[in-house]
Amino acid sequence: MEYRKLANGDKMPMIGLGTWEAKPNEVYDAVRHAIAEDYRHIDCALIYQNEETVGKALKDALEEGDVDREDLWITSKLWNNAHKPADIAPAIKKTLDDLNLNYLDLYLMHWPVACKNDIIFPKKGEDFISLDEIPLSETWEGMQSFKEKGLAKHLGVCNFSQKKLENLIENTGITPEVNQVELHPYLQQNDLVEYAAQNDIIITAYSPLGRGSVPKDSETDHPVLIENDTIIEIAKELDASPAQVLIRWAIERNTIAIPKSTTPKHITSNLDAAHIKLTGEQMNRIAELDRHHRYVDGSFWTVDGSPYTMENLWDE
């Protein structure tokens, strides 16, 4: 396994198991199988609504001696309804309780979006809170005590543009250690990746395989990346799967990939991407695939009356 080393020497595995959209009745077996297959990085979030089941899998794996806690890298995320400083500590406490852990290896601010404390997923404008009322810097500073208290070893953000990263650093003087964003050959975000490298911010790629379950009737708007001809051709050249090519592409760019799956065969195969290499010529062919296409475009935050727009969400 390859790793990204953080400033304190901790090592973050470059392939992890994503648990987004994993149903509670499936995620237990997925996590146990992943750990048995030598995954050491599990990516979670409170909003995934499966952390209790992930926690049971972690507890059982630890108690049965499948892995030691210090060898695991567990990530979770602060949800949008807990951006007020008073709500941040209860949020991480719930996550730790659900995951049966004393600490997280990494805790991330899930979105640069805030909503009212009693709202899980905003449906109308009045459910939101603007960033003028709760600045991202206020939430970010509120998260810092977790490192001092030993609740989270590392802190970062998700879905942050370069502009939002720059503003956060300028306003707080504290650089996120990680920025988790959608990243794949159809959304390569080269400028953001370069900026992160220059500022010692690790980029984690979610949806590194695109979205394989996109309905056929919407394929025009949401192309199925894993079926791309170039990716398939390169997979044949390497005697690998298209998914392995996409995961390896992320690693070759020095970013971390967290493909999600609950299928044992795919979980094992995805980790085997660590054993293939892409040539410079193959990387160049993949570079030509960029469409700036978001599968997770954030439009669900831009309902009527919301203070969030596609422009101020992505700063594009």
Residue 129's φ and ψ, nearest 5 degrees, are: -125, 130
Q: What CATH topology corresponds to 3-314?
A: TIM Barrel (3.20.20)
Question: With 60 as the cut, is the pLDDT of residue 268 above it?
Answer: yes
Kindly state the average pLDDT of the residues 253-262: 97
Q: Where are the domains of the chain?
A: 3-314
Give residue 108's pLDDT band: very low, low, confident or very high (50, 70, 90): very high
The answer, yes or no, to whether residue 106 has pLDDT greater than 80, is yes
H-state helical runs in the chain: 24-36, 51-63, 85-99, 136-143, 145-149, 162-172, 190-198, 229-238, 242-252, 264-271, 280-287, 310-314
pTM: 0.96
Catalytic residue positions, numbered: 48
Q: Is the pLDDT of residue 230 over 80?
A: yes
What are the angstrom distances between the C-alpha of 296 and each of 152, 167, 182?
27, 23, 7
Q: Check pLDDT > 50 for residue 217.
A: no
- How far is residue 204's CA from residue 267's CA, in Å, rounded to a whole number? 18
Angle in degrees, CA 109, 26, 227, rounded to 5: 80
C-alpha–C-alpha distance, residues 247 and 250, integer Å = 5
The tens digit of pLDDT for each residue in 189-212 reads: 999 999 999 999 999 999 999 985
Q: What is the mean pLDDT of the chain?
A: 95
pLDDT number for residue 220: 44
